[in-house]
Structure 1
Amino acid sequence: MNRRRVLFGALPVAALLAVGCGRQALGDEGGRKPLALVYNGPQGCADCAPSVAKVLREAPRPFDVKYVGPGTGVPLDAATLAGAQLYVQPGGGDDLERTWRDLRGSAQVMRDWIRSGGSYLGLCFGGYLAGRDPGFDLLPGDSYGYAGSPGSTVPDDRDTVLEVTWKGESRHMYFQDGPAFRLNDGADATVLATYDNGAAAVIVAPYGKGRIGVSGPHPEADESWYEDAGLSNPDGVRFDLAHELIDTTVGRP
């Protein structure tokens, strides 16, 4: 099994999920970096959390990073979230239901924290979990599988590099069976990127005083992801889109 695999394919959402990828100060004063919590509990993807943690630590405006979740020794609870600016749900394995069993006890705490000013970033698997049934129910709409959806150029769950339109510019991103996002009519959301069929690939939306950022593709993917899958990115392996998504999610200008 691919280490980043999220086996959703093109099944209907209900079937996919049955089988199952207060805001702190921005840290500018006194040289203190804001804290990002990255989920690193059981999820079937050994390098997903470390990859986004590295991007956060090495960003132009860096974060301190702490892993949370089962097995890390740090529970995902109100006390832990209180000290953080950002929570990241990274890519995952092939068992959404298993991960949700570990997370559902924290769902209301998570919603309350974001509503009070926290920020949630969901990448691939974390984008699915920002949706509903099961999920945190954070989106002004819902997530669904892009692969095999009408007009999609990705027929199945294979690792690939796909073209998206990011704020009007053609860019290429690593992709492995990630979600697209269906927004409610009149939803208050910013679509940063779309897939080739026009579906939303990356969005940021308010949630109370906080924000939700989600991406179907993987802007945090480093060289090793491409090498392991025998892929190359025609744009080169760059992290500017990851940095822009992070900054937009936490409300940095």
Structure 2
Amino acid sequence: MGAAGATAALGVSRIEQPDERPVALVYRGPAACSGCAESVANLLESAPNPMRAVYCGPNEDVDVTPDTLAGALVYAQPGGGVVGPAWQRTRSYAPHLREWVSAGGNYLGFCLGGYLAANDPGYDLFPGRVRQYIATDGATIDDTADTIVAVRWRDRPRHMFFQDGAAFSVPGDDWAAVGGTALARYPNDVVAAAVTPYGSGRVGVVGPHPETDETWYRGPGLTNPDGIRFDLGHDLIATTLAR
């Protein structure tokens, strides 16, 4: 790794390279699982209004700084490991992300990235509670193994890859009161995906994994009845970016 100043300079240079697509910064580093950043990047680049994914993190040419965020439309935090250690590795980003999202930026959190949108610990971007789905009353899954979870996405039944994903709640389940939208719910009616405002910006979070491709379905019994589709992830992106 180079010095912090050199990293920041590289970050600005990388983002300012000519390209018609808006930039999506995608965290890749010790707080993300192997392959998770790449799957999120592919989702962003395959969206109906595609973005250019630029990997960022402590071991990348681009780190998360006010300068690099200023050149981005989206910051995406992929899935990863345990929340506590991940927070220790990313907590220095919190003030930069809060300031940037408040000024109009867009945060996307997938699984661990959804947990990190919370405030204890986390970036403090989500206006409610974030907890494990498996710990909620009536959860249909009770362990942290890779599996498939049923959801209702915009009130239509779907299935998604799941590995100890988050559940999201706001007081009284009144999403309109916080200016938000509950996109998906688990079978016990707790929210699996949502978009909420933060200042002038937006925060899109999801507990299951809408970015998964065929490489994620190699374990025994891991078959998605709906097939491998990316429309739910694209809906999350589009709803987060809508103004």
- Given the two structures, how large is their TM-score scaled by the length of structure 2? 0.87
- Contact kept, 8 Å, 1:89 with 1:121, in 2: the verdict is yes
More displaced stretch, 212-221 vs 51-60: 51-60
4+ residue runs over 6 A deviation: none
Unaligned residue ranges in structure 2 (runs of 5+): 1-17
SS of 1:45's equivalent in the other structure is: coil
Aligned CA RMSD, in angstroms, stands at 1.5
Cα gap change, 1:176/1:223 in structure 2, threshold over 3 Å: closer, same or farther?
Answer: same
- 1:249 equivalenced with 2:236 (yes/no): no
Q: Verify the 8 A CA contact 1:159 1:229 in the aligned structure 2.
A: no
- In the other structure, the counterpart of 1:203 is 194
Alignment of 1:213-252 (within 5 A): 213-228=204-219, 230-251=221-242
Matches within 5 A, 1:144-183: 144-183=131-170
Q: Is 1:107 aligned with 2:98?
A: no
Percent identity (aligned): 50
1:134-185: CA deviations, max 9, x gaps? 1011111020000142110101111111110111100000000000001134
Of 23, 45, 62 in structure 2, the residue corresponding to residue 57 of structure 1 is 45
Q: Distance in 1 between matches of 2:110 and 2:160?
A: 12
Q: Give the Å deviation of 1:102.
A: 2.4
Asked if the contact 1:70–1:102 (Cα under 8 Å) also holds between the matched residues in 2, the reply is no
Whether the aligned pair in 1 keeps the contact of 2:32 and 2:79 (CA below 8 Å) is: no
1:7 corresponds to which residue?
Answer: none
Larger RCO: 1 or 2 (CA < 8 Å, sep 6+): 1
In the alignment, does 2:78 pair up with 1:90? yes
1:98 is displaced (CA, Å) by: 2.4
Q: CA–CA distance in 1 between the matches of 2:127 and 2:185?
A: 17
Counterpart-to-counterpart distance in 2, 1:73 and 1:31: 18
Contact in 2 for aligned 1:33/1:62 (Cα 8 Å): yes
Q: Is the 8 A contact 2:31 2:90 kept in 1?
A: no
Residue 190 of structure 1 contacts residue 203 of structure 1 at CA under 8 Å; is this kept in 2?
A: yes
CA distance in 1 between partners of 2:100 and 2:32 (Å): 27
